[in-house]
Every structure is written in structure tokens, then in C-alpha cells.
Amino acid sequence: MKNIALIGFMGAGKSTVAAAFQEKFGRTAIEMDEEIARREGKSIPDIFKEKGEDYFRELETAFLRELSGREGLVISCGGGVPLRPENVALLRKGGVVVWLAARPETILERTKGSDDRPLLRGKKDIGSISQLMDARREKYEAAADIRVWTDGKTGEEICREILGALDEAI
């Protein structure tokens, strides 16, 4: 069974959808940011602060290399994973890449109460979020096999939409 790699901007619903796949459909969910934080013994903001974004991006790539030989996973990728072509190649090698997309207003609503997203510190407004999303859009589009909009949908609804799109592709 192929892996399903969930990519998209922070707050697009990757963690929620991965958890729904595990709970409702029995797929093993891997939360990249959580696992990297656990392995490093510190939060993502602390990793960024102490060692920098480049170090964190190297950790992501190394973790994807580890996962590339496994099957049947739903991988919730950090928002910056598709920025590196090597990461996209690793995700595609093992399965299908699904871009979870959402409007900037949805992203703001979902992230406004959280301080664990270093790239949004001091930038929690529609303009800043839109600007960062625009900067990443081309990479997400290039990496994705499927795009699913998550605005106003539950995790289970999104899972069913992804599974439907996969069935149509076969």
C-alpha cells in the first residue's frame, strides 16, 4: 500500500487529516514535526532559535530518507518540506503527494492561538500569511499529485475526498 504524504501550509490541516486517517481508516500516521522535536528533545521553535532553519531542514530530509522504505503510512509533512526537491523525490518514491490547501483566512483562524510556528511569529495577519503562502504556492503545486481544499471540512471528510481522488487515479 502506497504512502500518502500530506503537504501544505501550516494550519492547512495536515495533522488533523493524518490523525483521521489513523483513527478512521487504520493507516499509521507519522507527524514529522512531532517526531523531529521528540528526537531532538526540544520544540520546533527552539530548534529554529538554537540551530537555525537550515539545520531543521536537514533533519526533515534525513527523516524522509528513513521513511522512504516503508509502506502504508500517512505522513504529515512540515510546511517547508516541499521546498527541497530532494524531499519531493523521497515523498514521490514511496507514494502519492497530497497538497492540503486552505484560504489565508482559514490559516489565520487555525493558527492564531499557537506560538509553535516560528515562521508566523509576529506575522499573524492575512497579508503576511498570504505573502508566505504565495511564496510557497509554486513549490506545493509542483510537488502535489492531488490538491484538496480543507476550508470548512472535517478531517474525515478530507480523508474521504483524498481516497476518492486516489480511486479515480487508478
Pair 144, 97: CB distance under 8 Å: yes
Q: What is the largest CA-CA distance in the chain?
A: 45
Q: Is 16 annotated as a binding residue?
A: yes
23-53 burial code (b ≥16 CB/10 A, e <16): eeeebebbbbbebbbeebeeebeebbeeeee
Looking only at the bridges linking them, the beta strands covering 146-149 and 28-31 are unpaired
pLDDT surpassing 90 at residue 128 = no
pTM to 2 decimal places: 0.90
DSSP code for 43: -
57 labelled as ligand-binding? yes
Ligand-binding annotation for 128, yes or no, is no
14 in a labelled binding site: yes
The whole-number pLDDT of residue 99 equals 97
pLDDT per position as a tens digit, 141-167: 999 999 999 999 999 999 999 999 988
Q: Is the pLDDT of residue 116 over 50?
A: yes
* Residue 13 in marked binding region: yes
Residue 113 in marked binding region? no
For helices 155-169 and 14-25, the axis angle rounded to 10 degrees is: 80
150 is in an annotated binding site: no
pLDDT 10s digits, 60-112? 999 999 998 899 999 999 888 999 999 999 999 989 999 999 999 998 887 77
How does pLDDT run across 16-70, given as a tens digit for each residue? 999 999 999 999 999 999 999 999 999 988 998 999 989 999 999 999 999 988 9
Task: Say if residue 26 carries a ligand binding annotation.
Answer: no
Q: On the CB side of 32, how many CA atoms lie within 13 Å of its CA? A: 29
What average pLDDT does range 1-13 have in this prediction?
A: 92
Is 106 among the annotated ligand-binding positions? no
- For the record, the C-alpha cell of 98 comes out as 497530497
Q: How far apart (Å, rounded) are the C-alpha atoms in residues 83 and 133? A: 12
12 is in an annotated binding site: yes
For 119-125, the CB contacts below 8 A with 24+ separation are: 119/10, 119/79, 119/80, 120/10, 121/45
